[in-house]
Amino acid sequence: GPTDQRFIAMMLPHHDGAIAMAELARTRARRAEIKALARQIETSQRAENAQMRRWWQQWYGGEVPIPAGAAQGAMPGMGWMAGSRSGMASSLDELKRASDFDRAFIEQMIPHHRMGVMMASHAQWNTRHAELRALQAAMVSAQSREIRQMEQWYRQWYGASAPGTAQPLPQ
């Protein structure tokens, strides 16, 4: 119970951050590949958020209480899930001002997705509801695939490894 509740309460604002970045990419990205990825992220994460809200209502009743600071990227009470990145609001501001939006998008989305992969991977250990565990596994798979794609584009377009690519991802 508590692990499932904590995961949902933290993943909703995390997804909201990725959705906000993806929405921005629809108008700012130059490359069709980034725009297509942004649409994919927006569609999948909106659907996942809607599903998690339905489960919350079914399992616990009421609205999901989002922990203080979660919307800004802080992860209170999550310990191993805590991120070192600055708040999502400042990241969005940086992204809005980026001279090379596509590059900045990749540089921000890779670590954002890595945090999501870590959160979903670790939460699976103690998740009580099988359907939530299946969603967590799907999140790990999809976001890991998207990270690998962004890393490939970054090497191809910028001739370098994207920042923060040293960690191996699940296949």
Written in H, E and C, the secondary structure of 95-133 is HHHCCCHHHHHHHHHHHHHHHHHHHHHHHCCCCCCHHHH
Please report the pLDDT score of residue 34 as a whole number: 98
pLDDT at position 151, please? 96
This prediction's pTM: 0.84
Average pLDDT, the chain: 86
Residue % of the chain over a pLDDT of 70: 81
Q: Quickly tell me which residue has 């490894």 as its tokens.
A: 161
pLDDT of residue 162: 84
Of residues 78 and 90, more confidence is placed in 90
Mean pLDDT of 152-158: 96
pLDDT recorded at residue 168? 54
- Find out whether 116 and 75 touch, Cβ atoms under 8 Å: no
Instruction: Determine the average pLDDT of the residues in 124-147.
Output: 96
pLDDT in tens, 81-97: 333 333 555 678 999 99
